[in-house]
Amino acid sequence: EPWSILVLVLVLILVLVWLVQSNATLALLWYDFLLETALDFITRTSRPQRLLQAVCINAVRGNPDSVIAAIDHFCQNQEWAMNVGDEKGAILDSVVMETSPSTVLELGTYCGYSAVRIMRLLPPATRFITLEMNPDYAAVARQVIQHAGLQDKVCLVEGKSADLIPKMADMFGIRTFDFVFFDHWKDCYLPDIRLLEDCGLLDQGSVVLADNVLCPGAPEYLDYVRSSLRFSSRFYRSHLEYTRVLDGLERSEYLGHRDAQRDQ
């Protein structure tokens, strides 16, 4: 019967939607590859460009909260994107306000969502530097940050974190960062936190917050910060942005160099 076939198709669609929303592998495969590739081909635009268009249409210029709301609405109702998102964003907000940093480093700007989210909470005198290696993402992020009215407060630098971290002191005259947000390639988390240590850019009390430590995951990074005597770490359980897939953020406070050796 036609109606029974229709019911079966609807049930299969609902099951597929549930699986995509709940399974890490399927979610990343669907949202971050299949759907994005298809929409790029159909629209002849990129996901960041479509996100920017949503911001320009729906967000009030000069209002950071409106920009955040427009991006969240786009990602929840139109197209998933790899921002920290609303749920983990609330955790990010609380850690930023708790830390009250005067110097901030973000690794992985993407479209500027987290830069806007962080900087809106901090006074204008805060030094905020965000690094993005993809020039197309950086171009969109600059426009999103400008739409939020924060272009004079956020310094976006294009390039690889491994190349730029050692140059922070010379480029910006910053000795240490009070708060560092990791949201770039997950396999860069471990080498980059070691590089921050080696370059002396972490001071006692500096806080490093790392996103997506479960999905896609950064197991070697977690092993390092959780076993190091130089860090005190805490895990914030949450979900992959705009899904029900288990994820979380790792907050690691730098305790300074210890006489004791790190556990091997």
Residue 107 phi/psi, 5-degree rounding, is -110, 110
Dist. CA 125–CA 129, nearest whole Å? 13
Q: Interhelix angle for 64-77 vs 47-58, to 10°?
A: 130
E-assigned strands of 57-193?
103-107, 127-132, 154-158, 177-182
Q: Are strands 103-107 and 154-158 parallel, antiparallel or unpaired?
A: unpaired
Would you please indicate which residues are annotated as catalytic (active-site) residues?
183, 186, 211-212, 241
In which element (H, E) is residue 232 found?
strand 231-239
156 bridge partner residues = 130
Q: Which helix (H) or strand (E) holds 57?
A: helix 47-58
Distance of alpha carbon 175 from alpha carbon 227, whole angstroms:
26
Pick from 103, 102, 67: nearest CA to 75 = 67
d(CA 6, CA 40): 30
C-alpha distances out from residue 192 to 151, 166, 197, Å? 26, 10, 9
**Using omega within 30 degrees of 0 as the cis cutoff, is the peptide bond preceding 101 cis?**
no
